[in-house]
Structure 1
């Protein structure tokens, strides 16, 4: 086996073990919260297994960066403890080359995380939502609170009582002009999804002029194509996860319940988040130079602290971008750029 193959196998196996442990812990914590609900719906052990399977992609996505950090620290720590790095450096192999040999392991997990975030998780989330809604006990007497959301420039208040998401009740639509001023209020008994678009039932109109109010009504009226039944089901369930596709659609006139900056940031984050795996590898790489006879454990702790600090900074920048306090592109990419630069700088310093 070549040196590159040995390093890749060592780092890859440690990352995989760390990923399995972290996902297992997250899965157990998640099931502790919902198992009673699943059993109360008479779904049994099969329901628990089905829920766990559908939740697995999101848990892998969440655990991936920490798995790279932990796995790389264990791998580089083993190399340092066995004096393997010292032997390699004596033959002219630099720490940079050692790190580059380990990059494919982190890159595979980063690409997996990207595929999960863009393609796999949105589908499993939708399947889980539909399954959960279908197994929810029906209680006609249960009151349903109105929800408020935006479709393009319109603000909508409605009651999503239909579990299939194909109808809305007590619909009120506030239409605004380009400057955000209210120009029309439309009230309808219901809105029904038919032929790939929504139709208002018995709508009443109140158009606001500069000095007057014009009223009108109709038996029915076509409304919008930008709202989907899945959007209504998501509103009724109170789901908070926003995929890249949903963020892109919200920015082009689809359903939105948050500020535009939130969706801009989520769209950028979909591509920036997988870089965390490569950043974590860079932050863990200095551990390969640890000298355990001279307090090398301190360097390991510092690498671990740097990785955890990266997660804190990344979360803080994301929150700033979602609330409009920072540009979305800065909020999504600042932490990966800063901590990647930090990892490279530390390697340059230690190698020099």
Structure 2
């Protein structure tokens, strides 16, 4: 129990330290691009601090897998440096025992990653999107200069330039009505849309028909807008797609919320909420060969390099397959789980060989024969 607590705390401490350092470096690079715009809007230092607070959880979420790999490698290398692994092996503990002693720390990192993915990051990114939109309003920029946000509502396609009152007011709204064949039949432009008493009210609206028998016929469209769009859908449209919460994704798949992306994106997201945090356990598993590093023998450094390379390959393949699944090229389950399971099997096989002994090189028996003959 003491050994498990010691190794798990060691792992969590080093992994979180590495994660914060990586996220801090990414935050500095991000501020290089965005700090000037925040200062120009008159926010000053407080605006920069608010931006950092809302942006930092996203960067932590991106950095945690790599931070876990670095933390696990540092844990094993420091244990090897202090000859603690030798003491563990001398007491009869093998590689699997070492891994299971670090497993509670890996599970703690899984819980932290799950919280970031499904609870913290969706809220902070939504708050950041709303704050940036409010800053555009405060600048008094023209609607033509604002970047429009697009969203699909049923068969219609909607765009708006600005958002106010937490998604309950839209500015410069354009609604493109489409028929069953996805052909645009009319366009509605409105200066403003307000959400009141559970329905949208268009103001300063005009409808232009693009059907053959009523081509370019114009009429006023002020009044109630018959749509399933709700303010939460507006906020989701402002939030980067990669951080939609599990609840929101399930609401889209069940038809209770308007999708802002193809359905495979949300199907993959549901799988990723469960599979992505488990990557922490795989990272620890892939890092285990680093326990074979001997600081007195430079040749054993290849074990540490192999562990680092395997972790980076896992990150690359996991991200690539997830992207393919979100775009519908492969199935959501395949994209979210295949890389995780494949590298977990590879890590378990390496750990098995570590406990079972590495195979001797083909030249080793011949070398021993020559030494025995020389001794005679």
What is the TM-score normalised by the length of structure 1? 0.86
Q: Of the candidates 299, 303, 309, which is equivalent to residue 307 of structure 2?
A: 303
Q: Give 1:243 shift.
A: 1.0
Taking a change above 3 Å as real, the CA distance of residues 100 and 88 of structure 1, as seen in their structure-2 partners, is: same
Q: Aligned pair 1:156/2:150, yes or no?
A: no
Q: Give 1:269 shift.
A: 1.2
Q: Of the candidates 341, 347, 351, which is equivalent to residue 347 of structure 1?
A: 351
Give the equivalent residue in structure 1 for 2:339.
Answer: 335
Q: Aligned pair 1:172/2:176, yes or no?
A: yes
Runs of 5+ in structure 1 lacking a partner? none
Q: Give 1:31 shift.
A: 1.6
Determine if contact 2:68/2:280 at 8 Å carries over to the other structure.
yes
Q: Give 1:55 shift.
A: 1.4
Q: Aligned pair 1:315/2:319, yes or no?
A: yes
CA distance in 2, matches of 1:223, 1:101: 59
Alpha carbon RMSD of aligned pairs, Å? 3.0
Give the equivalent residue in structure 2 for 1:325.
Answer: 329
Give the equivalent residue in structure 2 for 1:116.
Answer: 116
Determine if contact 1:188/1:200 at 8 Å carries over to the other structure.
no
Q: Give 1:216 shift.
A: 11
Q: Give 1:263 shift.
A: 1.8
- 1:176-223 residue CA offsets vs partner (Å, 9 max, x unmatched): 3xxxx3598454343542222334567869799xx999x998764441
CA distance in 2, matches of 1:135, 1:111: 35
Give the equivalent residue in structure 1 for 2:54.
Answer: 54
The secondary structure found in structure 1 opposite 2:144 is coil
Q: How does 1:1-352 map to 2 (within 5 A)?
A: 2-136=2-136, 137-140=139-142, 142-144=144-146, 148-151=150-153, 153-164=154-165, 165=167, 166-167=169-170, 169-176=173-180, 181-182=181-182, 185=185, 187-190=187-190, 191-199=193-201, 220-228=223-231, 231-232=233-234, 235=237, 239-244=240-245, 245-253=247-255, 254-294=257-297, 295-352=299-356
Q: Give 1:270 shift.
A: 1.9
- 1:80-130 residue CA offsets vs partner (Å, 9 max, x unmatched): 233322221222112111111111222212211111111111221122222
Determine if contact 1:7/1:101 at 8 Å carries over to the other structure.
yes
Q: Give 1:279 shift.
A: 0.9
The secondary structure found in structure 1 opposite 2:269 is helix
Taking a change above 3 Å as real, the CA distance of residues 141 and 126 of structure 1, as seen in their structure-2 partners, is: closer
Taking a change above 3 Å as real, the CA distance of residues 263 and 234 of structure 1, as seen in their structure-2 partners, is: closer
CA distance in 1, matches of 2:147, 2:57: 31
The secondary structure found in structure 2 opposite 1:135 is helix
Kindly tell me the number of residue pairs found equivalent between the two proteins. 343
Give the equivalent residue in structure 1 for 2:359.
Answer: none
CA distance in 2, matches of 1:140, 1:205: 23
Determine if contact 1:282/1:340 at 8 Å carries over to the other structure.
yes
Taking a change above 3 Å as real, the CA distance of residues 182 and 73 of structure 1, as seen in their structure-2 partners, is: closer
Give the equivalent residue in structure 1 for 2:372.
Answer: none
What is the TM-score normalised by the length of structure 2? 0.81
Determine if contact 1:103/1:278 at 8 Å carries over to the other structure.
yes
Taking a change above 3 Å as real, the CA distance of residues 223 and 186 of structure 1, as seen in their structure-2 partners, is: farther
Larger radius of gyration: 2
Q: Which moved more, 1:2-11 or 1:305-314?
A: 2-11
Give the equivalent residue in structure 1 for 2:367.
Answer: none
- 1:220-254 residue CA offsets vs partner (Å, 9 max, x unmatched): 444123432x544665x684444134433333343
CA distance in 2, matches of 1:286, 1:272: 24
CA distance in 1, matches of 2:132, 2:291: 47
Taking a change above 3 Å as real, the CA distance of residues 319 and 298 of structure 1, as seen in their structure-2 partners, is: same
Q: Give 1:338 shift.
A: 0.9
Q: Give 1:344 shift.
A: 0.6
Determine if contact 2:228/2:258 at 8 Å carries over to the other structure.
no
